[in-house]
Amino acid sequence: MFEILLPFFLLILFLLALTIIWRIKARKFITSGTVASAYDAWTQDKLLERLWGEHIHLGYYPSNGKNVDFRKAKVQFVHELVKWSGLDTLPKGSRVLDVGCGIGGSSRILSKYYGFNVTGITISPAQVKRARDLTPVGLNCTFQVMDALDLKFEDGSFDAVWSVEAGAHMIDKKKFADEMLRTLRPGGYLALADWNSRDLRTYPPSIFEKIVLKQLLEQWVHPNFISINEFGEILRTNKNSAGRVITENWNSYTNPSWYDSIFEGIRRPLTILSLGPLAIIKSIREIPTILLMNWAFSKGLMEFGVYKCRG
């Protein structure tokens, strides 16, 4: 019965959320400050943390995609990217920079399971405070407020640079790549995952797709999307990568995350209710964007790119 009623339930929520969104100012990217403000707000209201845990990024689902716990899938994503990128070959004590660390979920896994000495940076002061609060004493993780387009580290400071779903917020993708590769030591590892559009130069969007992309940009403070191939070329042409860049599209592994992001609210209704009436409105507001993300990724308008290279 639940499976039969679910589409109608989601449709009602979608229409209700659209009505609310029309009355709420969009979260457009203006400067990096708007990104910081948005993440400060998301962190301070604790809705995403309570619903999705310490990892706001997507999860990794095996090919069958069945009976996978949403939060465990997020942790598994970290392990899969570590293995795919080669970070698991680094010795304990290796210095790792987590660019766009959020509230430190991935940083803590990298430190706890692999013995890395992790420095996490984010542009959001609220995220840094929360990341520090969540990190146990003795775990080799530190967190700083810092702009990813202006990293305050010396050249070659890190054995590995890690970044998950941060690049879409960067207005200058080349500067983003340049700064990460600059701080990577020769022979070090870059592991990166991000939301990308398909190559819109080769396959221009339809009118409807333009509307979808506009919504995805304006609701979650993204300045622009570029394709996997475009960002791969940016990495390849950087002098510090020596052209050794490998990319893949992990849509098939990550797409179940979108529906699961909504289902968590159904599975944990008391979590939302415990945060008060405003949390209900905030959670409903995100549903149309999540559904559009799911549609865009499932149709190939958006792609989940993963990247690895050696310094």
0.75 surpassed by pTM? yes
Candidates 290, 302, 295, 281; CA nearest to 70 is 290
Structural domain contains residue 248: yes
- Domain membership of residue 7 (yes or no) is no
φ/ψ region of 104 (left if φ > 0, alpha if ψ in -120 to 50, else beta) reads left
Number of domains in the chain: 1
CATH code, domain carrying 80: 3.40.50.150
What are the φ/ψ torsions at residue 161 (nearest 5 degrees)?
A: -125, 130
**Residue at 218 is within a domain:** yes
For residues 28 and 34, the answer to whether their CB atoms sit within 8 Å is yes
* 18 closest CA partner among 234, 227, 297, 284: 284
**Mean pLDDT, each 10-residue run in order, the chain (311 residues):** 54 54 68 92 88 91 81 96 98 98 98 98 98 96 98 98 98 98 96 98 96 94 97 94 90 95 83 76 84 96 97 85
In a domain, 228, yes or no: yes
Does some domain include residue 301? yes
Distance in angstroms (rounded) separating the CA atoms of residues 141 and 239:
29
Retrieve residue 160's tokens.
């590995």
What contacts 291, CB < 8 A, 6 or more positions away?
Answer: 10, 14, 258, 262
Look at residue 129 and tell me if it is in a domain: yes
Q: What phi-psi label fits residue 143: left (phi over 0), alpha (psi between -120 and 50 degrees) or beta?
A: beta
Q: Give the DSSP letter string of the chain.
A: -HHHHHHHHHHHHHHHHHHHHHTS-----SSHHHHHHHHHHHHHH-HHHHHHTT--SPP---SS--S--HHHHHHHHHHHHHHHHTGGGSPTT-EEEEET-TTSHHHHHHHHHH--EEEEEES-HHHHHHHHHHSPTTS-EEEEE--TTS--S-TT-EEEEEEES-GGG-S-HHHHHHHHHHHEEEEEEEEEEEEEE--TTTS---HHHHHHHHHHHHHTT------HHHHHHHHHTSTTTTT-EEEEE-HHHHTHHHHHHHHHHHH-HHHHHTT-HHHHHHHHHHHHHHHHHHHHHHHTSEEEEEEEEE-
Q: Domain span at residue 295?
A: 19-310
In a domain, 3, yes or no: no
CA gap 266, 240 in Å, rounded: 47
Does 8 reside within a domain?
A: no
